[in-house]
Amino acid sequence: MPKLIVHGGAGTIAEARRSAYHRGLRAALAAGWAVLDAGGDAVEAALRAVETMEADAEAFNAGVGGSPNRDGEVELDAAVVRGADGSAGAVAAVRTAPSAVRLADVVRRTTPHVLLVGPGADALVERPIDPAHLLTPHSRAAWERWRSRQAEADAAPPPPTGSATVGAVALDAAGDLAAATSTGGVLGKWPGRVGDAPIVGAGTYADRAVAVSCTGRGEAFLRAVTAKALAERLAAGAGLDDALARALADVRDHGGEGGLIVATADGRLAYGFDTAHLALGWTDGTTTVAEVLAEATVVVLPTP
Catalytic residues, by residue number, are 165
Check if the beta carbon of residue 196 is closer than 8 Å to that of residue 206.
Answer: no
What ranges in 38-122 are assigned the alpha helix state H? 42-54, 100-110, 118-122
| Whether the Cβ atoms of residue 260 and residue 6 lie closer than 8 Å to each other | no
**CB burial string 41-54: b at 16+ within 10 A, e below:** bbbbbbbbbbbbbb
Classify 216 as helix, strand or coil.
strand
Rounded Cα distance, 103 and 197, in Å: 14
Q: In which element (H, E) is residue 177 found?
A: strand 177-183
Q: Angle at the Cα of 247 (from 244 to 249), degrees rounded to 5?
A: 110
Q: What burial class does residue 289 get, using C-beta atoms within 10 Å of its C-beta: 0-12 exposed, 13-18 middle, 19+ buried?
A: middle
Give, in order, the Cα–Cα distances in Å from 210 to each of 46, 180, 233: 14, 13, 11
DSSP result, 103-139: HHHHHHHHSS-SEEEHHHHHTT-SS---GGGG--HHH
User: Dihedral, CA atoms, 99, 90, 78, 256, nearest 10 degrees?
Assistant: -170
